Each structure stands twice: as structure tokens, then as C-alpha cells.
Amino acid sequence: MQQAEARVGGTLLDLRSDAGRLLGRVPLVLALTAGLVVICLLVEAYGSDELKTTTITMLINLVMVVGLYTFIGNSGVLSFGHASFMAIGAYASALLTIPIVTKSVLLPSLPPFLADASFAPVPAALTAAATAAVVAVAIGIPIVRLAGIQASIATFSFLAIVQVVLSNWTDLTRGQMTMTGIPLSIDVIGPMLWAVVAIGIAYLYKQSRSGFRLRATREDELSARSLGISVGRERFVALLVSAFLVGLSGYLYARLVGSFSPENFYLEVTFITLAMLIIGGRNSLAGAIVGPVAVSVLLELLRRGEDGSTFVTIPTGSRDIVFGALTLAVLVLRPDGLMGRRFG
Amino acid sequence: MTEVAQYVVNGLSLGALDAMLALGVGLIFGVMRLVNFAQGAYIMLAGYVLFFTIEAPWAVVIPLTVAAGVAIALITERVAFRPLRGADGSTLMIASFAVAFLIQSVIVAFEGSGPKSIPIWSLLSESIVVLDVRIPVLDLITIGVSACLLAGLWLFLTRTRTGLAMRAAAEDFEMLRLLGGRANRVIAVAFALSGVLAAIAGILLFSKTAVVDPTAGTNPVLIAFVATVIGGLGSILGAALGGFSLGVLTTALQATLPAGLSSYRDAFVFGIVIALLVFRPQGLLGNRAEAQRVI
């Protein structure tokens, strides 16, 4: 194969070397991440508590959307079920970090290894994310063999199944009652570091051979298969990585809000995160970063507008309406989102 | 024995309702390859119209609700879906999701997010007793109304040119595009019919639950989705059959699951759906062309 170079999105890559492949897309994603870090540091230093909460929310959405991109963006298969991985991450971190005394009151019937568990933040985050990935193995086996719409409907079914299980497995989750008692934290640096880690993992995956192969199936499945690429296997890997990242966002969510119930991980968050990915650009990691940031900024401006504290006042409830209309507009006018049609 | 009869009536009634829900999604899928999540919003909107007009005589309420359903369906077709014709499946699906979210947000902005209780007509909450079996009047009406509606729909799909075009498009989408100028009309009629189905299903549904809130459409549309897939994407009769089977399956599970598991009934239903997708992706009546397996 003589032609071992490729122009990918305007950057000359030497595909013969792994270094060339791994370093190819660094500039844009790195710049965006660096910008993100700067913003977070500024907020941590000078921001009000309110602004910190908003920023942490944005970081949670960002990790979630980066996880979504890892599957949806690379495979081209739309998934409506990823909110379930967020739920699993959140509930797992709750079970691991709620102080033991509180836990025994809230969840008296836990098995000993959970009832006595008290994890530090980093192990809790990793374990929660890993739990989501383990569940992804179970759902991945049937789903990655399906095509297009069938796969999307299967992910919808998965969302519904997890919702029912969470609402009814009261010994583990308190069912529809709020799970509460998770130690809160309003520190911005922790989520920021996790966001950087998440972006790093997503980047390493997408630049890996598996990531390239998966994107090949996204572009032209038949040709990819004729090259011997196993679509199911590549999608499976992507699903695991994305579940891990989304589970991580669940951990971050739990420690920001401190209490939640199954309905926090159902259709509303599914739509909002999908919309953020669409608006940013579902084909690229850069889009997965830009989307949540841009939307969060917009929503924050709208919220202030509703409060009347900026130059234009808008009626309450307009925020969601604007958001829905914006998503629709992007889909019609610029379906590839803000970052446009990129290779990855 | 009477318990079995009870479950049979329940199953038929739920099956009839789910068939209507599924058809609402199946008709639009047939003409546009769009899995219309906004169908749930149409149903929810019908519920709100019902809430606002319930005081009026039923000869006014029903046409009004149906008109509202048709109107919202046609509006969303013109504004949101027509510009997206020909886009790929996932784009269309997310767009319908956005439309549903939009309609829901408008309702929340105007009416708040809390539930509204609907004082249903007293006739509908009664039951008649036949051979020791207590049959709710609403179940009978549901079965009767859907039977009529489905019969009318069948006549339309088999005896009129537009209906025939719709069925042909469902089987072979390229055909509809070849029709060119008529495509707009066929698609508009499909949406209008879905609006009617949404309104009537909504009336029957909310007469049973007696309450409506902005999220009231999401469960029905989820049922419609899976029912369409069970029946087979690409077959309108399949959608009806899929919906009916789903209603019967749900009731059967309700009847047979042991007490500890009965609250997980929906999880079992959706689990069966996933299994069906894996082992028989074309569903009950779908054609193989629509069913693709990666491996």
C-alpha cells in the first residue's frame, strides 16, 4: 500500500506511523480542552457559588456528551439509552459514597459488601463508571448486531427497562423515592480534571485502530465489511468505552446534586444531551466539546433573560422552547452541527 | 374462569388501543421513513384539549379533539418534517424528538408541568355485568371504536388511490418518490390520519386514566414504537397487528407474572422486544428489505 498518507480534515497524516495517527487531530481538541480548563480555573477562583454550580453542570453534560459521541459519533448509530448508563453511574456512586450510618437508614436491606462500603472519591468514580461498562456488556451483545432503526429502538427499550428496574428494585435503589445523602461538593477542579480525563479517553479511543475501523463502518458499511472489519465488535468496544464515560458523568452528577430519583435519567436528559451533541456536531470529538459548552452558555443567558437580569426579558418557560426550536433549526439548516462534517 | 374472561376483555381492549397507537406511528413511517416520536405529543395535546372542553357535550368535544390532533400533525409536518424529507433515519428521529420536546415545553410554559384531572363522563366509568364477568363500559367502547376506525382505515388503504399509494410507499419507499407531485398529498394525508388516531387513542386513554400532564404522551409513544417494530417496519397491517399483540402480551404478563415480579412487567415486555429485534428483525409481517442485521 503505497498511499500511506491521507489528508484528514486539512491535516496531513502519516498513517504508517502510530505517532502520526495519534497526533493528527491533537491541535483542535487540545485547544478546546485548554480553553475549557482556563474557564474552569477562572470560575473556581472568582466565580460565585451559583456560577460554579452552572459550570459543574456544564462539565457533567460535557462528560456525558463526550461519552455519547464515543458511541454515536463513531458508529453512526443513534442511541437513546445512554441516560441509563448515567443512572447506573449515579446510583453506584451513591451506594459507594453515602456515609455508612445514613446508608443503613436509607437502605436497610443492602448486602454487606455494599452496606459497609465507603469509597474515596476517585475509586468511587472509577468503580461507578466501570459498573456502567459492565452493564453495557450485557446490553451490547444483542444491540451491536442490529442495524439502524432497530438498534435505536432497542436502545430505547433498554432505557425503559432500566427505568423500570430502578423504580422497582427498592432494596437497592429506594425505588421511586429519592436517593439522597450523597456527599456534596461544589468544587470545580475535580469535575474539570475528570472532564479532561474523559476527553483524553475519548480521544485515545477515536484515534485507535478500533476507532478508525468503526468510523469506516459509519461512512460506508459495505466497503468496511468487505475489508474484513467486524462491525459488531468495533461497535461493542465503542459502547463499552462510551458507557464508562457516561457512567462517570453519573458519578459527577450524584456528587453535585446529592439526591435524585429514576426520572432524572429518563427522556428529558436523553433529549438534552442528544441535542447538545447534534448542535455541536455529532461527527467529531470537537463537536462533543463545543456542543455542551455552547448550549450551556446559551441556556444560562436565557435563564438570566427570564430573571430579567440582562437586556432583554423573556417569559418563563421560553428556555426550553428556544432550546427545542434551536435543535430543530440545526437539524434542518446545518445537520452536521457547529463543527460541521469532520472525519472524527 | 371469570378472571380469565376479565383478562381477555382487558387484553382485547388494551390491544385495540395499542393497535391505534402503533398505526399512528406506522402510517408515517410508511410514507417518510420517520419514526415519529412527536406522536406522543399529539396524544398529550389531545388530552389537554379534552381537559379544556370536557364540559361541552360529547358531540362537540370529540370532533374538536380530533380536529386538534389533525391540526397539530399537519402543522408539524409542514414546519418540521417537510424540510427534512429524505434525511437519514436518525436525523428524522431526533427531529421528531425535538418536535415532541418543543410541544411539551409550550404546554409547560402555558399550563405548568403539574397534572390536570379530567372529570370523565359518568357513563365511561361504569361496568356492565355479563355472565358474572364485570366488563368496564370503557373497554367495550375502546374495542368498538377501534374496530370501526381500523375498518375505515382498511377501506381507505385498500380502496382509494391515496391509500394504495401509502401502502405501496410503506413497502417500497422509492415508489413514493417516483410519484413526485402526489407525494405531498400522500404524506399530508398520512399525518392527518395519524392525528386522528392520536386524538381518538388519547380520548380513550385519558378517559381511563382521568389525568393528563405534559409527559402523558411518552409512554404511549414508546408502546407505539415497539409495537411498530414488533409488527414489522414496512407493513401497515403489521403495525396494527404489532400493537394488538403488544397489548395482549402486556395483559398476559400482568396475569401470569408472580406477585413479586409483576411490577417489572414492562421490563419483561421491553426485554421481549429486544429479543425479537435480535432473532426476527423484520418483525411479524415486515419485509426482509427493511430488516438488516449487521452480522
Q: What is the dihedral of CA A219, A225, A226, A228, to 10 degrees?
A: 120
Q: How far is CA B87 from the centre of its chain?
A: 23
pLDDT of residue A234: 93
Distance CA A80, CA A60 (A): 18
The SS3 assignment for A62 reads helix
> Nearest-CA neighbor of A309 among A7, A50, A81?
A50
Interface test with A, best of B94, B226, B278, B295 (most A CBs within 10 A): B94
The contacts of residue B18 (CB under 8 Å, 6+ apart) are B223, B224, B227, B243, B244, B246, B247, B250
Q: Closest-CA residue in chain B for A151?
A: B277
Q: How far is CA A168 from the centre of its chain?
A: 25
Polymer length in residues for chain A: 344
Q: Does the pLDDT value for residue B82 go beyond 60?
A: yes
- The answer to whether B96 and B36 have CB atoms below 8 angstroms apart is yes
Which residues of chain B are within 8 Å of residue A235 when distances are taken between CB atoms?
294
DSSP-assigned letter for residue B10 = H
DSSP-assigned letter for residue A81 = -
Complex-level ipTM: 0.86
Whether A267 sits inside 8 A of B218 (CB atoms) is yes
Assign residue B134 a region (left: φ > 0; alpha: ψ between -120 and 50; beta: otherwise): beta
- The answer to whether A285 and A69 have CB atoms below 8 angstroms apart is yes
Residues 173-192 of chain B whose Cβ lies under 8 A from any Cβ of chain A: none
Q: Which three cell numbers stand for residue A25?
A: 487531530
Q: Please check whether residue B93 touches A, CB under 8 A.
A: yes
- The answer to whether A293 and A62 have CB atoms below 8 angstroms apart is yes
Interface test with B, best of A236, A269, A331 (most B CBs within 10 A): A331
- The answer to whether B261 and A198 have CB atoms below 8 angstroms apart is no
Distance CA A87, CA A103 (A): 18
Pairing of strands B211-212, B133-136: unpaired
Distance CA A15, CA A7 (A): 10
Q: Is the dihedral of CA B274, B279, B285, B289 positive or negative?
A: positive
Distance CA A144, CA A146 (A): 5
pLDDT tens for the 344 residues of chain A, in order = 444 445 554 454 444 556 556 655 567 888 899 999 999 999 999 988 888 999 999 999 999 999 999 999 999 899 999 999 999 999 999 999 988 888 888 888 888 888 888 888 999 999 999 999 999 999 999 998 887 778 888 999 999 999 999 999 888 888 888 888 888 888 899 999 999 999 999 999 998 999 999 999 988 888 998 999 999 999 999 999 999 999 999 999 999 999 999 999 998 899 999 999 999 998 889 999 999 999 998 888 877 776 665 555 556 667 788 888 999 999 989 888 888 877 77
Helices A267-280, A285-307: axis angle to 10 degrees equals 120
- The answer to whether B106 and A315 have CB atoms below 8 angstroms apart is no
- The answer to whether B252 and B199 have CB atoms below 8 angstroms apart is no
Which residues of chain A are within 8 Å of residue B266 when distances are taken between CB atoms?
160-161, 164
CA dist A169 to A254, B55, B222, B264, Å? 19, 42, 22, 9
Which residues of chain A are within 8 Å of residue B91 when distances are taken between CB atoms?
331, 335
Q: What is the pLDDT of residues A31-49, one digit of tens each?
A: 899 999 999 999 999 988 8
Distance CA B168, CA B294 (A): 26
> Nearest-CA neighbor of A138 among A106, A109, A161?
A161
Whether A150 sits inside 8 A of B281 (CB atoms) is yes
Nearest CB to B108 within list A149, A320, A328:
A320
Residue type, position A154, single letter = A
Q: Which three cell numbers stand for residue A31?
A: 485547544
Distance CA B113, CA B107 (A): 8
Whether A271 sits inside 8 A of B218 (CB atoms) is no
pLDDT of residue A3: 45
- Residues of chain A above pLDDT 70, percent: 89
